[in-house]
Amino acid sequence: MSKDFVKDVTSMKDDFAQWYTDVVTKAELIDYSSVRGSMILRPYGYAIWENIQKELDSQIKQTGHENVYMPLFIPESLLQKEKDHIEGFAPEVAWVTHGGEEKLTERLCVRPTSEVLFAEHFKNIIHSYRDLPKLYNQWSNVVRWEKTTRPFLRTLEFLWQEGHTCHETDEEAHEETVRMLNVYAKLCEEYLAIPVIKGQKTEKEKFAGAKYTYTIESLMHDGKALQSGTSHHLGDGFAKAFGIEFTNREGKLQTVQQTSWGFTTRIIGAMIMVHGDDRGLVVPPKIAPTQLMILPIAQHKEGVLDFAYDLKDKLSKTVRTGIDASDKKPGWKFNEYEMKGIPLRLEVGPRDIEQKQVILVRRDTGEKQTVSLHNLETQVQEILNDIQYSLFEKAKTHRENKTTAVTTFDEFKNQLVQKGGFIKAMWCGDEACENYIKDETGATSRCLPFDQEKISEKCVCCEQEGKHLVYWAKAY
Amino acid sequence: MSKDFVKDVTSMKDDFAQWYTDVVTKAELIDYSSVRGSMILRPYGYAIWENIQKELDSQIKQTGHENVYMPLFIPESLLQKEKDHIEGFAPEVAWVTHGGEEKLTERLCVRPTSEVLFAEHFKNIIHSYRDLPKLYNQWSNVVRWEKTTRPFLRTLEFLWQEGHTCHETDEEAHEETVRMLNVYAKLCEEYLAIPVIKGQKTEKEKFAGAKYTYTIESLMHDGKALQSGTSHHLGDGFAKAFGIEFTNREGKLQTVQQTSWGFTTRIIGAMIMVHGDDRGLVVPPKIAPTQLMILPIAQHKEGVLDFAYDLKDKLSKTVRTGIDASDKKPGWKFNEYEMKGIPLRLEVGPRDIEQKQVILVRRDTGEKQTVSLHNLETQVQEILNDIQYSLFEKAKTHRENKTTAVTTFDEFKNQLVQKGGFIKAMWCGDEACENYIKDETGATSRCLPFDQEKISEKCVCCEQEGKHLVYWAKAY
């Protein structure tokens, strides 16, 4: 392909951060604005989010949850009701102090998350065990006052869903916490083709106000980890602070057990960094706004355009199909849809029409094949399925190659420098060791995986017993 | 029905405002929170919004628009770029002055609407006539610092969609303005069963920064009007202030022509006040989260529950069907689903099963009919269609009864006091008369209807020529 047509992207190997910035802007996922640290989600970026939303919303409803909408603002006194929570969030909230010309008597924070708003509402509407469980979800924007920001990964404002539930017992809340983590894991693996490690966050890394936090962690192409979704068992911390009580089956007053769980636009950053390459984005078919793009070749010749549009109508029944019949040069078009990571390209010209065939080109492998019109729909579907599968397998292999079990701290440091990725190592459970590792290596504890193994006797950092297997990594 | 079961609602005639508040809370559409002027959209209220959203989003996409997402915050300097716009909105915006512990060097307002953010982005991405038209839409929350608030009708924060488009010519922008007003009108009339008057706002009432504003106006049960959707031709005001220029077909630099248009959760307030009655909400079938509710009678008797659940499975294929098989008393259930305005209730007990029939009860008329199982699906669909149609016709008749043409100011005042509703009267076009009418009667100009008639020679207020027919009304 002639260099003239190419929107240049920095090579991943040369500068991964610059590669990322190039891809998010040149694939037209986002644009910057004069609002520091915020991003504009452009049509293509938002369409990917809509597809993720649609699938996740359907899963959330199928698991019995109802959507609601809470206010954007939280009065300062309300945010302060749960001590751990305010401590965790106070440094990173935006404060509204004036409404119109008038100074407010109480500051309002722009929600960084909505536990306290849900808690106040739950107190109003829950009275008896008959009112439980309450299974709510909200789609919304939230704001966290980050100093350094990056599109999708860390922005002042982001879009997400936050689930909030109340239960009769600790056990039920635990089951819910697991259930929703599994919904997230399935979405990542089956739709976004991103393999995840499920596990528990350490005390230090758990959500401010939670009893414990479950997480799914994924690994980016550059060997850094990304927290991809979290599910918190809140215990009765908020419930006690807000007095969310109900008359139980024995006729006694009891405090509810709560959970909360969230999934954000951040995952689009993960999708980019797991599947992308030096030609741009690679979007998994299940989540792609356009799964197949038709490019008519020599379209000025008689019959080509009609044929291409007929094909589009036919394929649109089973596949999200686009067509570019503009007068732009073929090279520009090839480059553009590769940059946008559209899974499959279909080329059709006069000779193909004559021979009752088309050319299909895979975005992930670049593989070209000539396919008979006779069984085109079946072939397209099969190739899309294969792309979906291959992307997941490739990402999984990459993660496995970048996961190293170590038993000594020297090994830990060496492997992290040489290979990056996940370091599996035993930990005594002491926060001092966790902090030491972070300070010395830059790696943080990602999670205590649900699949625990004992790979050595001692903590990788001290002489104490190694109680937990931990995945460590540098992370976004 | 025994009084014991009844959630009491104030009668409309006694106190319409209290009736409204009773309905929104007792039908569980909303709850209040400690956030002044904001509301919590509860599952039932949010489900209605989701249905409206789904239909409108589909219309917006079918008319060629793409969804995007802009930042929540607007730097003060950006808001100030278009003079009329800042003048109109400054008194009613919320200001963020602190991020975390730090005071900001520039205040950020929480978007009251997003014209300036779109304008800044359009400047970046539009260069040539080939980039036009740009047809964007955003689903989001916005904040306006209202002093007195009311659920749905006027709240500090509300949900909406805002369309923003750029065009080559004034004419194209005009067509777009009309097109989207028609989309809103169709949604109101065909889905929400709310008849609307289409027309143009006066200079005084138009959007701050627009060339002109088109509106749809509806009439509530108490005879007050409600602005139900607006579509603005922005001309080149924002485009000039922001420098949104493109190379036109003649190779010359030209400024774009813009439109914006919005539709909000406010419409749920209209739905309540147009269709509701003293037993609560009446939800039009097309927008109802549950269209038919099955209530098994004597459900402890053998076979009743199985039969009812089978019916639910069967009807769910074509109708959004619910079932309440809880142990609550029938009277409570009747009352609850009437309060929630579910269009159709299906009762089925042992005798009905024996006779292969069920009872259907319409929410709007209270009419009961016995329907054979044989053609139940068809009958249900027909009755739902009839309810949808009847609600619209009833609302239209009500509006016609409450619309009075007057030629003198005395008549104007008398009719407004006696009947309320819309007053049709000629206007000279002078803002002094518009202000005088408002001050003297409390009625504002709702619109200059597209269907203009000349009902008298002179302005209803002064001795000048009556140039325009205007709909006047007290309004929410």
Same domain for A236 and A379, yes or no, is no
Last-in-domain residue among A247, A275, A303? A275
Decide if A397 is inside a domain.
Answer: no
Contacts of A39 in chain B (CB under 8 A): 71
Average of pLDDT values for A73-80?
95
Residue of B nearest to A76 (CA): B35
CA atoms of B53 and B59, how far apart (whole Å): 10
Residue A331 CA, chain-centre distance (Å), reads 32
Taking 50 as the threshold, does the pLDDT of residue A1 lie above it? no
A341 vs chain B: nearest CA distance in angstroms? 19
Same domain for A76 and A218, yes or no, is yes
Same domain for A92 and A15, yes or no, is yes
Taking 70 as the threshold, does the pLDDT of residue B4 lie above it? no
* Candidates B34, B38, B93; nearest CB to A100: B93
Is the Cβ pair B68, A42 closer than 8 Å? Answer: yes
Domain of residue A466, residue span: 403-473
pLDDT for position A6: 55
Residue of B nearest to A114 (CA): B40
DSSP of A431-472, one letter per residue? Answer: HHHHHHHHHHHS-EEEEEESS-----SB-SSSSSB--EEEEE
pLDDT digits (tens, 9 = 90+) for A346-362: 999 999 999 999 999 99
Last-in-domain residue among A215, A247, A275? A275
Same domain for A301 and A449, yes or no, is no
pLDDT digits (tens, 9 = 90+) for B268-287: 999 999 999 999 999 999 99
Decide if B282 is inside a domain.
Answer: no
pLDDT digits (tens, 9 = 90+) for B20-32: 999 999 999 999 9
Same domain for B371 and B428, yes or no, is no
Q: What's the structural domain count of chain A?
A: 3
Structure tokens of A23? 């891809």
- CB A449, CB A426: distance < 8 Å: no
Average of pLDDT values for B65-82?
96
Decide if A283 is inside a domain.
Answer: no
Same domain for B307 and B188, yes or no, is no
pLDDT digits (tens, 9 = 90+) for B213-226: 999 999 999 999 99
* Candidates B39, B74, B94; nearest CB to A96: B94
Residue whose entry in the numeric block shows the structure tokens 């007195």: B148
Same domain for B104 and B184, yes or no, is yes
Same domain for B226 and B331, yes or no, is no
pLDDT for position B83: 86
Decide if B86 is inside a domain.
Answer: yes
Is the Cβ pair B71, A117 closer than 8 Å? Answer: no
Interface test with A, best of B42, B96, B126, B148 (most A CBs within 10 A): B96
Same domain for A244 and A189, yes or no, is yes
pLDDT digits (tens, 9 = 90+) for A135-170: 999 999 999 999 899 999 999 999 999 999 999 999
Is the Cβ pair A31, B121 closer than 8 Å? Answer: yes
Same domain for B302 and B381, yes or no, is yes
* Candidates A66, A94, A107; nearest CB to B43: A66
- CB B358, CB B346: distance < 8 Å: yes
Decide if B56 is inside a domain.
Answer: yes
A416 vs chain B: nearest CA distance in angstroms? 33
Amino acid identity at A310: D
Residue whose entry in the numeric block shows the structure tokens 């193909």: A352
Last-in-domain residue among A359, A385, A411? A385
The 3-state DSSP class for residue B80 equals coil
* Candidates B78, B99, B143; nearest CB to A94: B99
Question: B100 has which bridge partners?
Answer: none
pLDDT digits (tens, 9 = 90+) for B303-327: 999 999 999 999 999 999 999 999 9
Residue of B nearest to A98 (CA): B95
pLDDT for position B6: 55
Decide if B284 is inside a domain.
Answer: no
B14 vs chain A: nearest CA distance in angstroms? 28
Is the Cβ pair A110, B96 closer than 8 Å? Answer: yes
DSSP run (H or E) holding B134: strand B134-143
Decide if B393 is inside a domain.
Answer: no
Q: Residue A127's CB: how many other CB atoms inside 10 A?
A: 12
Query: To the nearest whole number, what is the mean pLDDT of chain B?
Result: 96
DSSP run (H or E) holding B32: strand B30-32
Decide if B96 is inside a domain.
Answer: yes
Look up the ipTM and state it: 0.96
Same domain for B318 and B439, yes or no, is no
With bands split at pLDDT 50, 70 and 90, how would you rate the model's confidence at A218? very high
pLDDT digits (tens, 9 = 90+) for A450-464: 999 999 999 999 989
For B6, residues 6+ apart whose C-beta sits below 8 A from its C-beta are B335
Percent of chain B with pLDDT over 90: 94
Q: Any idea what the CATH number is for the domain that residue A366 is in? A: 3.40.50.800
pLDDT digits (tens, 9 = 90+) for B359-388: 999 999 999 999 999 999 999 999 999 999
* Candidates A69, A75, A99; nearest CB to B46: A69
Q: Any idea what the CATH number is for the domain that residue B424 is in? A: 3.30.110.30
Q: What's the DSSP call for residue B111?
A: P
Q: Any idea what the CATH number is for the domain that residue A186 is in? A: 3.30.930.10
pLDDT for position A363: 98
Same domain for B124 and B257, yes or no, is yes
Residue of A nearest to B37 (CA): A71
